[in-house]
Amino acid sequence: MSSIPVVQPSSKFREAFAKRGGAAAARCYQCAACSSVCELAPAAAPFPRRQVLWAQWGLVDRLAADPGPWLCHQCNDCSLRCPRDVAPGDLMAAVRGMVVECLAFPRAFGRLVANARTTWPLLLLGPLLFWVLLLGATGRLVLPAADPQLGGLEGRFHYQDVVPHALIYAVYVTATAWVAVALWVSGRRYWRLLGAGAARHGSFLANLFPVLGDIATHARFKECGRGVPRRRWGHFLLMWGFVGAAATSGFAILYLYGGTPIFDWLGLGHGYPLPLDHWVKWLGNLSAVLLVLGGTLLYANRLAVGDRLVGATTGSDRFLLYTVIGVVVTGVLTEAFRFVALPMAAAWLVYVLHLGIVLTLFLTLPYSKLAHVVYRTLAMVHERMSGLTTG
């Protein structure tokens, strides 16, 4: 009898879970309307009814080890149909938030970001202060001077004069490596949890590629019961905007190794500053456009579909949103100020702000909603490997 799970309905879990948006779980009477309307729920392990029950009963381990919350794309059709106003869609989001925090590496960072509602000044000002101190320490707290040598499409001055590229690369390569490590550790924890719950077959990579294809086209969004095109294409543009921005940054790094034939062939041998019509610039600007377009579409969707379908927005959701907006706005302004005859101080300020907020975005990525890049991908691969079928 020792194998009987002991249910621990703790008030602490209830309260914590409520803060994440799962307050209404207790109201559920298990009619399973939610699981019935969900187009994404695998037939063999439908969600979100079971997850609501586990949340009611405080079975945290089961919630954490379940692929369901990540297979959910939060169309919130279930919340709309729920006769008891349980909002299972929000509950699934709350579970995701809980998983991100609990599996975070290190845990303290996870808590810090999960509590962004109160810790946001630290999260924003910390990286900014770091940059200011770093610049001060390296004696670079100076305003750039206009460079009359530059062509019309190259702007008025070099941002390299504000912050040397080496410094940028040093900081962001380190940050990227850190993000990769944090995501790797969390992802591995999650992958093991998933594996403990179901037998998997086949190779990871062979199953990863179809999943990536799925993600690239956002095919699943189409299946969602409330998969209004705005949601799908908004998220689609946003995702590709981020991918483009990341690629732009990647190519920028490659400049450090410029001069080899292949780079020459790609036209990467060009010296800084790049003119506006250079294809890397095109890529960066296109990404910014995609981000703005995608964001606008999603925002329009929020206005159009009503509260129930939008779902609950937690403090850390808002933090991520403002951070992304901050990155896009300061990024665009940074570029614009190269060409606009404003006091150099303005350009300096915007650039440093941009560097700070980008660092915030980087460092919080494994602990914010953005971690879904890893968790959802893993859950989708697990779904294929463990034979759950999407029904």
Are the C-beta atoms of 268 and 255 separated by less than 8 Å?
yes
Please answer whether residues 81 and 34 qualify as being in contact, where contact means their C-beta atoms are separated by less than 8 angstroms. Answer: yes
- Alpha-carbon gap, residue 353 to 331, rounded angstroms: 9
Neighbours of 289 (CB within 10 A): 14
Residue 15 φ/ψ, nearest 5 degrees? -65, -45
Q: For residues 93-122, which are near another protein according to CB under 8 A?
A: none
Q: 27 and 104 in contact (C-beta within 8 Å)?
A: no
Site string for another protein, 319-348 (x = CB under 8 A): ------------------------------
> Residue 382: how many CB atoms within 10 A of its CB?
24
* Residues touching another protein, count (CB under 8 A): 20
10 or 174, CB closer to another protein? 10
**Min separation Cβ 6 and another protein, Å:** 5
The token pair that represents 282 in the structure block:
């095109």
From 3-11, 106-114, 177-185, 236-244, span contacting another protein (CB under 8 A): 3-11
- Between 29 and 265, CB nearer to another protein: 29
* Interface map 354-383 toward another protein (x if CB under 8 A): ------------------------------
Query: Which residue's CB is nearer to another protein, number 44 or number 173?
Result: 44
The answer to whether 352 and 135 have CB atoms below 8 angstroms apart is yes
Residue located via tokens 């971690």: 371
Q: How far is the CB of 46 from another protein (least distance, A)?
A: 13
Q: Which of residues 59-98 bind another protein (CB under 8 A)?
A: 59
Nearer to another protein (CB atom), residue 69 or residue 331 = 69
Q: How far from chain centre, in Å, is Cα 333? A: 22
Query: Taking the complex as a whole, how short is the minimal distance between the CB of residue 23 and another protein, in angstroms?
Result: 8
- For another protein, give the closer residue by CB, 14 or 278: 14
Instruction: State how far the Cα of 74 lies from the Cα of 313, in Å rounded to an integer.
Output: 12
C-beta of 54: minimal distance to another protein in Å?
8
Whichever of 59 and 298 has its CB closer to another protein, that residue is 59
Span 5-64, contacts to another protein by CB under 8 A: 5-11, 14-15, 18, 26-27, 30, 53, 56-59
Closest of 252, 253, 245, 250 to residue 284, by C-alpha: 245
Chain positions 155 to 194 lying near another protein, rule: CB under 8 A, are: none
Phi, psi at residue 194, to the nearest 5°? -60, -45
Tokens linked to 178:
């850190």
Nearer to another protein, 98 or 298 (CB): 98
* Closer by beta carbon to another protein, 55 or else 224: 55
3-state secondary structure of 390: strand
How far apart CA 214 and CA 235 sit, in angstroms, is 13
Which residues contact another protein by CB under 8 A?
1, 4-11, 14-15, 18, 26-27, 30, 53, 56-59
